[in-house]
């Protein structure tokens, strides 16, 4: 089996040349702050329109925490946006770790189902949702490695960190497991 290539970059995820960009969205999928806002600004109205058409699974919820949904990417150069709703960190005893892992796993599975070969992840839940950075990074790297082992069509996964602190955490983790 071909091991997918993992890359680490520090920068703006909306600028990346990949098949799919993952959005750390909220359950309603109608935009927000942080990376969600940046993606919606870059993609433009078409992305709002597409998100709005996705069905509600219950009041206010188009994408339950840990699940993922796929849309086109409007004006962005990638083909798809994969929206996933990370958990709000509430101390760690509310199933946050499992839910965060599910975000990465479900995004990758949805990507593979849609023929995506390259995908970029932001640091899901590490902004407004308050997840401790070290723990979130460990979950991200472990889950991506485990799930990608069963998804050979995914050739490249980019961990896109916006800030230096997350970049350094990921660098240590990825170097240690090389």
Q: Which residues bind ligand ADP (CB under 6 A)?
A: 12-14, 24, 33-36, 38, 86, 122-129, 160, 162-163, 166
Q: Are 35 and 24 in contact (CB under 8 A)?
A: yes
How far is Cα 48 from Cα 135, in angstroms, rounded to an integer?
Answer: 32
- What is the nearest approach in angstroms of ligand ADP to the Cβ of residue 37? 7
| Closer of 60 and 150 to ligand ADP (Cβ) | 60
Could you tell me the smallest distance in angstroms from the CB atom of residue 28 to ligand ADP? 12
Q: How far is CA 62 from CA 22, 26, 52, 68, in A?
A: 16, 9, 9, 10
Q: Is-catalytic flag, 36?
A: yes
Q: Are strands 80-85 and 68-72 parallel, antiparallel or unpaired?
A: antiparallel
Q: Which residues pair with 24 in a beta bridge?
A: 84
Rounded to an integer, what distance in angstroms lies between the CA atom of residue 159 and that of residue 140? 9
CB 44 within 8 A of CB 18: no
CB of 91 to ligand ADP, least distance (A): 16
In the complex, the smallest distance separating the C-beta of residue 173 from ligand ADP, rounded to whole angstroms, is 15
Closer CB to ligand ADP, 77 or 115, in the complex? 77
Please say which residue, 137 or 147, places its beta carbon nearer to ligand ADP. Answer: 137
Cβ nearer to ligand ADP, comparing 33 with 92: 33
Residue of 12, 17, 19, 36 with catalytic role: 36
Specify whether the CB–CB gap between 169 and 162 falls below 8 A: no
Reference 141, options 116, 111, 169; nearest CA is: 169
Catalytically annotated residues: 36
């Amino acid at each position: 089996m071909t091991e997918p290539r993992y890359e680490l970059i520090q920068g703006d995820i909306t600028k990346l040349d990949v098949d799919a960009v993952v959005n750390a969205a909220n359950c309603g999928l109608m935009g927000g702050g942080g990376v969600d806002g940046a993606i919606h600004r870059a993609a433009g109205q078409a992305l709002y329109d597409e998100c709005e058409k996705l069905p509600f699974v219950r009041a206010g919820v188009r994408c339950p925490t840990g699940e993922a949904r796929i849309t086109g990417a409007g004006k962005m150069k990638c083909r798809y946006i994969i929206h996933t709703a990370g958990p709000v960190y509430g101390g760690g005893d509310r199933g946050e770790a499992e839910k965060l892992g599910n975000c990465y796993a479900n995004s990758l599975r949805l990507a593979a189902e849609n023929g995506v070969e390259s995908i970029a992840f932001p640091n899901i839940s590490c902004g407004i949702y308050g997840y401790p950075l070290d723990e979130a990074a460990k979950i991200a790297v472990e889950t991506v490695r485990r799930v990608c082992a069963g998804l050979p069509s995914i050739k490249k996964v980019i961990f896109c960190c916006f800030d230096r602190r997350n970049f350094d955490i990921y660098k240590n983790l990825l170097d240690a497991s090389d």
